[in-house]
């Protein structure tokens, strides 16, 4: 039996919140290896003391609140982030609405009123560079200094490196923009994935022998335009189906050069996917998108792309993000 990952929100009644949890505190965009180190620290503290371990995170992302007109390439929207958190071994998550009131709350008030007063935390794990409270004046050092007075344990996670470079959400965004999928997978401890509903397209793929499931990504998604080896899941729970495939993300320069679209061809799939939701994990980058002088040349290239995708997927040993089931 699958147990849904419980979510505590601002609207959750205070008497429905069990006090004494150990929390991992952060924005957790992408739930990368650095985030996972914080989460592991929280789980270790919690298990040692027989407490539940929760993530405390914020939605929308504070950057979106402070700069609403600026493009922001999120690695994971709220649902994707929570599904990843649910797959880490945590017992639940606290999602705090980041609005004007919360942005104006002092760091000290956030600690006293939210972490201690409402949640009643017994321990906090936090990354070395996480800041909170009005003016970002709250810091890991402040939490550590307050720990004796509050009677809680605080652990500060130092940066996690990959090949000598600190892992960060920004570094992962840059790697996705460059098409460096192997590096992205290493920093995330699993493939980057997107979720979307299959929409109707122009159906050219059918005529070319490559019928695709078309998904519109967030307009701020700065993924490099090109061809990718992908792995997709349809459905959920015991009914989930997984397929290998090849995908194009871009503007279709051979045809219309329109808005960016993700077009996924699933090897061996027969059926209708319109209106269904797909999780698509990016396993490898094959090439940049290109304009072809003829349909025959395009189809030959698609055949070659499919062969390369199958080779990349065969070498990936079936890797897919570890996702959990999220409650409400």
Q: Give dist(CA 242, CA 280) in Å, integer.
A: 10
pLDDT of residue 254: 86
Is pLDDT of 218 > 90? yes
**What average pLDDT does range 63-92 have in this prediction?**
95
Is pLDDT of 239 > 60? yes
Tell me the percentage of the chain whose pLDDT exceeds 70: 98
- How far, CA to CA in Å, does 55 sit from each of 91, 102, 124, 209? 8, 18, 10, 46
In contact, 276 and 240? CB cutoff 8 Å: no
pLDDT bucket at 199, cuts 50 / 70 / 90: very high
Q: What is the overall mean pLDDT for the chain?
A: 95
Is pLDDT of 1 > 70? no
**What average pLDDT does range 85-102 have in this prediction?**
97
In contact, 324 and 86? CB cutoff 8 Å: yes
pLDDT bucket at 256, cuts 50 / 70 / 90: confident
Q: Quick one: tokens of 121?
A: 């935390």
pLDDT of residue 236: 79
Is pLDDT of 235 > 90? no
pLDDT of residue 3: 57
Q: Give dist(CA 203, CA 216) in Å, integer.
A: 15
pLDDT of residue 90: 98
Q: Give dist(CA 150, CA 137) in Å, integer.
A: 19
Domain ranges of the chain: 7-162, 192-315
Identical topology for domains 7-162 and 192-315: no
| Model confidence, pTM | 0.95
Least confident of 59-68, 95-104, 123-132, 196-205: 196-205
**Three-state SS annotation for the chain:** CCCCECEEECCCCHHHCCCCCEEEECCCCCCCHHHHHHHHHHHHHHHHCCCCEEEEEEECCHHHHHCCCCCCCCCCCHHHHHHHHHCCCCCEEEEEECCHHHHCCCHHHHHHHHHHHHCCCCEEEEECCCCECHHHCECHHHHHHHHHHHCCEEEEECCCEECCEECCHHHHHHHHHHCCHHHHHHHHCCCCEEEEECECCCCHHHHHCCCCEEECCCCCCCCCCEEEEEEEEECCHHHCEEEEEEEEEECCCCCCCCCCEEEEEECCCCCCCCCCEEEEEEEEEEEECCCCCCHHHHHHHHHHHHHHHHHHHHHCCCCCCCCCCECC
pLDDT tens per residue across span 10-46: 999 999 999 999 999 999 999 999 999 999 999 999 9
pLDDT tens per residue across span 111-132: 999 999 999 999 999 999 999 9
pLDDT of residue 328: 66
Contact residues for 259 (Cβ-Cβ < 8 A; gap 6+): 216, 251
pLDDT of residue 327: 76
- How far, CA to CA in Å, does 239 sit from each of 3, 86, 234, 235? 16, 19, 8, 6
* CATH topology classification for 192-315: Elongation Factor Tu (Ef-tu); domain 3 (2.40.30)
Could you give phi then psi for residue 144, rounded to 5 degrees?
Answer: -65, -40
* CATH topology classification for 7-162: Rossmann fold (3.40.50)
Q: Quick one: tokens of 285?
A: 């980058």
Q: Tell me which residue of 240, 255, 245 sits closest to 203, measured CA to CA.
A: 255
pLDDT tens per residue across span 283-317: 999 999 999 999 999 999 999 999 999 999 999 99
**What average pLDDT does range 70-82 have in this prediction?**
96
Q: Give dist(CA 26, CA 295) in Å, integer.
A: 49
Which residues are part of the catalytic machinery? Answer: 263
């Amino acid at each position: 039996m699958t147990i849904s990952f419980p979510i505590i929100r601002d609207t959750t009644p205070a008497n429905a919140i069990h006090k004494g949890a150990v929390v991992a505190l952060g924005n957790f965009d992408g739930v990368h290896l650095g985030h996972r180190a914080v989460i592991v620290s929280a789980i270790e503290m919690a298990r040692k003391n027989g407490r539940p371990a929760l993530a405390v995170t914020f939605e929308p992302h504070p950057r979106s609140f402070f700069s609403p007109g600026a493009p922001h390439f999120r690695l994971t929207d709220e649902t994707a982030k929570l599904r990843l958190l649910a797959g880490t071994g945590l017992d639940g998550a606290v999602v705090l609405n980041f609005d004007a009131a919360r942005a104006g709350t002092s760091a000290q008030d956030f600690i006293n009123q939210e972490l201690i007063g409402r949640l009643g935390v017994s321990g906090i794990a936090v990354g070395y560079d996480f800041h909170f409270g009005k003016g970002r004046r709250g810091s890991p050092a402040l939490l550590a200094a307050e720990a004796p007075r509050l009677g809680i344990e605080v652990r500060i996670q130092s940066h996690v490196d990959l090949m000598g470079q600190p892992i960060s959400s920004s570094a992962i965004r840059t790697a996705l923009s460059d098409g460096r999928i192997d590096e992205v997978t290493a920093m995330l401890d699993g493939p980057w994935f997107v979720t979307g509903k299959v929409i109707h397209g122009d159906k050219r793929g059918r005529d070319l022998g490559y019928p695709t499931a078309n998904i519109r990504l967030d307009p701020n998604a700065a993924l490099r335009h090109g061809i990718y080896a992908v792995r997709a899941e349809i459905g959920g729970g015991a009914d989930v189906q997984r397929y290998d495939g090849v995908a194009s993300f871009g503007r279709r320069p051979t045809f219309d050069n329109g808005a960016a679209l993700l077009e996924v061809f699933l090897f061996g799939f027969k059926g209708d996917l319109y209106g269904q939701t797909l999780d698509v994990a990016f396993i490898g980058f094959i090439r940049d998108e290109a304009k072809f002088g003829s349909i025959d040349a395009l189809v030959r290239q698609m055949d070659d792309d499919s062969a390369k995708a199958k080779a990349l997927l065969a070498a990936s040993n079936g890797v897919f993000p570890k996702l959990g089931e999220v409650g409400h």
